[in-house]
Amino acid sequence: MKLAFCSNGIKALPLSSRIRGFLLFSTETQTSKPKKIKKDTLYSRVIKVGNDQSVSVVPVLDQWANDGKHFTKNDLIIITRNLKGFKRFKHACETSQWLCNQRYFDPSPSDIAVNLDLISRIHGIEQAEKYFNYIPKESQEFPVYLSLLNCYANSKAVEKAEALMNKMKELGFMKTSMAYNVMGNLYTKVGQFEKLNPIMAEMRKEGIPPNKVTFSIRLSGYAATSNIDGIERTIQIMEAAPEVTMDWNCYAIAAKGYIKAGLIDKALEMLKKTEELSTGRKRKYAYDSLLALYADTGKKEELYRIWDQYKKSEKLYNSIYRRMIGSLLKLDDINGAEKILEEWESGNKSHDFRVPNLLVAVYCKNGVLENAEMLVNKAVEKGKKPYADTWGILATAYVEHNQIPKAVEALKAAFLKRRSGWKPHRDTLAACLAYMKQLGNAEKTEEFVRLLGAPGHMSINDCEKLLDYIYDKQEESKEMSEIDEDSMDSDDENVDETA
């Protein structure tokens, strides 16, 4: 393709022989009433593709270039960054790869580093390694190595990260704290806290000054191991260091360590400092942490005080309601949690079912199934749609209370609402399969099996074998990769965070 260059971008001259035989977007028909015409940009076209990650944005990029539309390298960088912010990682990866592969621009090491990170997120660490090996040696600069190190850290691949770190030392890349911070964060994640002091010692030896991130990582290690002397010494060093600006998170980390060690008074001192520094754009996150930490101290009055402060000064989000309800439930204050839920229901615009799910789960755990049913039914009557895990919670409770027919119906509802990644509790599904087998109703059995996702002609016995195989493989995979269970607690529902 021939290119016509201009001062701030390029235009691709269209080739009639390569006109694509499809249109991605409909055009509005002209009416007598004038309509406001929205500016047609590459960004707007990519955003219009939506959240469906099975739909590629590459045809949109190709179409724009083939039509001779103007675009710059910075346009693609901004699109990639925003797609990442929207958690549309596959689309971000496609845009980044398009930037690096289409030869309209020469990708910088930073561009390649972003692409490497996204490949790792979408396709896994092995594909990221293959891509790294494909990168020309002259482009394998520090940002690219640091990106691969981050990929290893995110995958908790300690040995590979350490080997790469040694390679970076050989290449003379260890001139700042950045790579050391990545390794420190990795060691903290995997619980190898004993390796944090050697990192600090090596940095001192090489004359590399630690920054706030370095100290925060070390502080987290001390907090996780309840090393009170280490916590206090690190806080003192940070407060005295002119290059370190203390923020709310530093004191929140220290508070966690004190709470874990049972030193509630010291924890409260740190939390007061956390409050004092809870300003600016990060205020929402600070208050979210404060609610959790005050719940951990057992100080219910402080929890309500923070909640009242937040309501007066901040916009209320579904996530903060979840945190407050969860904190109250941690303190066994079910009545308080119910009142907060009522407050949320009276003002919410989008019904994020993860909020009532907290009480549904507690009701089921306490054997008060009628309360759980009432909560779900009331929402359904208002036109709200429970998530798959809502029905899954109910199904498990029904099985535990020997109400198997209800469990079957709840699982059916869950299957109809399920998204990728959700699966029912194994024992719950097994009990429902056993019940269907005992029932001997071919029509109902076929319907249940079809909802399960198996072929309609598959027998219950075959389903049970398939169930064993699937769950055994999943457990084996879970052991091998040490999956963080916290990431699987709830459906990945696309909901409006505004309450």
What string of DSSP letters covers 270-286? HHHHHHHT--GGGHHHH
**pLDDT confidence of residue 444:** 77
Q: Is residue 107 part of a domain?
A: no
Structure-block tokens of residue 68: 């001779």
DSSP state of 258: H
**pLDDT confidence of residue 306:** 92
CA separation for the pair 27, 453 (Å, rounded): 38
**pLDDT confidence of residue 426:** 83
For 175-238, the DSSP string reads: SSSHHHHHHHHHHHHTT-GGGHHHHHHHHHHTT----HHHHHHHHHHHHHTT-HHHHHHHHHHH
- Tell me the H-state helices in 57-108: 58-66, 73-85, 89-101
- Specify the 3-state DSSP secondary structure of 3: strand
Contact 258, 270 (CB under 8 A): yes
CA angle 410, 412, 417 (to 5 degrees): 95
- Residue 498 β-bridge partners: 317
- Specify the 3-state DSSP secondary structure of 9: strand
Q: Is residue 4 part of a domain?
A: no
CA separation for the pair 146, 263 (Å, rounded): 39
**Helices and strands, number each (H, E), in the chain:** 25, 3
Sole residue written with tokens 């089921």: 364
Q: Is residue 458 part of a domain?
A: yes
**pLDDT confidence of residue 130:** 95
- Summarised one tens digit per residue, pLDDT across range 343-370 is 998 876 667 899 999 999 999 999 999 9
The structure's pTM equals 0.73
Strand 70-71 to 3-6 pairing: unpaired
**pLDDT confidence of residue 6:** 34
**pLDDT confidence of residue 60:** 93
**pLDDT confidence of residue 349:** 64
- Specify the 3-state DSSP secondary structure of 68: coil
**pLDDT confidence of residue 384:** 86
CA separation for the pair 316, 347 (Å, rounded): 10
Q: Is residue 279 part of a domain?
A: no
Contact 442, 458 (CB under 8 A): no
Q: Is residue 243 part of a domain?
A: no
Classify residue 250 by burial, with Cβ atoms within 10 Å: 0-12, 13-18, 19+: buried
For residue 1, give the nearest of 70, 96, 104, 132 by alpha carbon: 104
Sole residue written with tokens 């482009």: 139
What is the domain range of residue 424? 391-478
Contact 428, 392 (CB under 8 A): yes
Classify residue 391 by burial, with Cβ atoms within 10 Å: 0-12, 13-18, 19+: buried
Q: Measured in Å, how far apart are the chain's first and last C-alpha atoms? A: 50
**pLDDT confidence of residue 146:** 97
For residue 387, give the nearest of 489, 498, 478, 497 by alpha carbon: 489
Q: Is residue 157 part of a domain?
A: no
CA separation for the pair 248, 271 (Å, rounded): 9
**pLDDT confidence of residue 281:** 75
CA separation for the pair 195, 165 (Å, rounded): 14
Q: Is residue 13 part of a domain?
A: no
CA separation for the pair 328, 65 (Å, rounded): 55
- Separation in Å, CA 370 to CA 171, 379, 391, 392, 490: 65, 14, 14, 16, 23
**pLDDT confidence of residue 113:** 95
User: In this structure, how many other beta carbons lie within 10 angstroms of the beta carbon of residue 93?
Assistant: 24
- Ranges under pLDDT 50 in the chain: 1-32, 455-457, 469-471, 473-499
Structure-block tokens of residue 205: 């030896």
CA separation for the pair 27, 46 (Å, rounded): 16
- Separation in Å, CA 134 to CA 69, 98, 177, 274: 31, 16, 27, 47
Sole residue written with tokens 């409770």: 397
**pLDDT confidence of residue 311:** 85
**pLDDT confidence of residue 352:** 86
CA separation for the pair 61, 93 (Å, rounded): 13
Query: 346 Cβ partners below 8 Å, 6+ apart?
Result: none
Provide the domain count of the chain. 1
Contact 286, 278 (CB under 8 A): yes
Contact 205, 239 (CB under 8 A): no
Q: Is residue 468 part of a domain?
A: yes
Contact 118, 96 (CB under 8 A): yes
